[in-house]
Amino acid sequence: MIGVPMDMGADRRGVDMGPSAIRYASVKEKLNSLGYEVEDLGNLQVPTPESYSVGQQQLKYLREIASVNRELADQVSEIKNRRRFPLILGGDHSIAIGTVAGVAKHHKKMGLIWFDAHGDLNTAETSPSGNIHGMPLSVSLGLGHPDLVEIGGFQPKVQPENIVIIGARQLDEGERKLIRDRGIKVFTMHDIDRLGMGPIMEETLKIVSDGTDGVHLSLDLDGIDPNEAPGVGTPVAGGMTYRESHLAMELLAESEVLTSAEFVEVNPILDTENKTANMAVALIGSVFGEKTL
C-alpha cells in the first residue's frame, strides 16, 4: 500500500488528505481481518502547490505531477517485482498516470476498469479546466503531453478495447468524441439504471479479461452518489448507490481477476465525519473478498 497525497491535479484543495483519511478509517485493519498481510510503504513525497507556480494553464503543475508520477510508477513496479498486490491511495486522479504506468510494465496486455463520474479522457486541447486529474485515462492511452505519456518508458499503457468506464455522468465534448473514435466501452449511469449492476459487471469482466494478463481497478469515489460519498473533489449528482458499488466490488472479488487497485479523490475537507473514507475502506473490503455470509 502506498499513499499519494497529491492535489496538484485538481482545483480544490483537500484531496491531499485522502490517504490519511483512508488510513484513519482502518484500511489496514480491514485487510488484516480478511487475512491479508499489509505492508504500508507510507506516502510519496508530494510538493505543496503554494510553493510552486502553476505553469501552463492548460496543464497545471505539469512538471510536479510528472515527477511524482515517475516516482510512483517506479514504486508500483517494484511492488510488482516483489509479486505483491499494489494498492494505491489518493490523492487526486492524476496519480493513476503513475499507477497504470507501473503496473502496465508487468503485463503484456492489461484490462482497466475506471469507476468514475467523469471520463478523465481530456488532453490539454480539450480540457475545460487544465486540471491533469481530468486527463489520466487519455494519458494511459498514449494521448497528451509527452512528459506524462512517456512515464515508465513505453506507451500506450492500455488499449481502448480493454478499458471499461463505469458510472459516467459528466463528459466533456472532446471526451465524448474520443470515446466514439476509439470505441471505448462506457457504462453511464443511464445504463446502470436500465441494465442493473449485475449484468454490467458480467459484461465488464468479459471485456477486461479478454486476452489480458492483468486487470487494474482505478476507483474514483466520485463515481458513487454524493449522498454516500460527499467528500470528493468534484461531486456530480446521480451516482452509484451504496449497494450498486458494493455489488460491483463483490463481483470483481468473485472473478479473482484483479492484479492492482487504487482508490482516489477522497477529500476529507468536504466530507462529513470521514464518511467517504469509510466508504472507500468498505469498498476495499468488498473487493478483497469480504462477504456477509
* Positive or negative: CA dihedral 170, 174, 176, 179: negative
Query: Which of 77, 99, 123, 131 is the binder for ligand LYS (CB under 6 A)?
Result: 131
Task: Tell me whether the omega of the peptide bond preceding residue 5 falls within 30 degrees of 0, making it cis.
Answer: no
State the nearest-atom distance from the C-beta of 31 to ligand LYS, in Å: 25
State the nearest-atom distance from the C-beta of 156 to ligand LYS, in Å: 20
Check the annotation: does 225 bind a ligand: no
**Three-point CA angle 9, 12, 17, nearest 5°:** 80
Q: Between residues 150 and 172, which has the closer beta carbon with respect to ligand LYS?
A: 172
Cβ-count burial 136-160 (b if 16+ within 10 Å, e if not): bbbbbbebbbebbbebbeebebbbb
Among positions 217-256, residues that touch ligand LYS (CB under 6 A) are 220, 234
Give the DSSP letter of residue 45: P
Site string for ligand LYS, 250-289 (x = CB under 6 A): ---------------x------------------------
Residue 184 phi/psi, 5-degree rounding, is -75, 135
Q: Between residues 42 and 128, which has the closer beta carbon with respect to ligand LYS?
A: 128
In 3D space, the residue among 66, 63, 80, 217 whose CA is nearest the CA of residue 139 turns out to be 66
Among positions 90-129, residues that touch ligand LYS (CB under 6 A) are 93, 118, 120, 122, 127-129
Q: Could you tell me the end-to-end alpha-carbon distance of the chain, in angstroms, rounded to an integer?
A: 27
Q: Partners of 111 in the beta sheet? A: 215
Task: Tell me whether the omega of the peptide bond preceding residue 91 falls within 30 degrees of 0, making it cis.
Answer: yes
Give the chain's radius of gyration (CA, Å): 17
Give the number of residues in contact with ligand LYS, rule: CB under 6 A.
14
Check the annotation: does 210 bind a ligand: no
Cell of 261: 487497485
Q: Between residues 244 and 265, which has the closer beta carbon with respect to ligand LYS?
A: 265
Check the annotation: does 118 bind a ligand: yes
Q: Between residues 175 and 250, which has the closer beta carbon with respect to ligand LYS?
A: 175
State the nearest-atom distance from the C-beta of 199 to ligand LYS, in Å: 27
Check the annotation: does 220 bind a ligand: yes
Check the annotation: does 193 bind a ligand: no
Cell of 221: 469515489
The CA distances from residue 124 to 104, 134, 138, 144, 191, in Å, are 23, 10, 10, 7, 29
State the nearest-atom distance from the C-beta of 280 to ligand LYS, in Å: 15
Check the annotation: does 93 bind a ligand: yes
* Positive or negative: CA dihedral 289, 265, 25, 84: positive
134 forms part of the interface with ligand LYS (CB under 6 A): yes
Near ligand LYS by CB under 6 A, which window of 21-29, 52-60, 130-138, 194-202?
Answer: 130-138
State the nearest-atom distance from the C-beta of 119 to ligand LYS, in Å: 7
Task: Please count the other Cβ atoms lying within 10 Å of the Cβ belonging to residue 19.
Answer: 29
State the nearest-atom distance from the C-beta of 207 to ligand LYS, in Å: 22
Q: Which residues are catalytic?
A: 93, 116, 118, 120, 133, 220, 222, 265
Q: How many residues does the chain have?
A: 293
Instruction: Please report, in range form, the residues annotated as the binding site for Mn(2+).
Output: 93, 116, 118, 120, 220, 222
Contact residues toward ligand LYS (CB under 6 A) are 93, 118, 120, 122, 127-129, 131, 133-134, 172, 220, 234, 265
Instruction: Please report, in range form, the residues annotated as the binding site.
Output: 93, 116, 118, 120, 220, 222
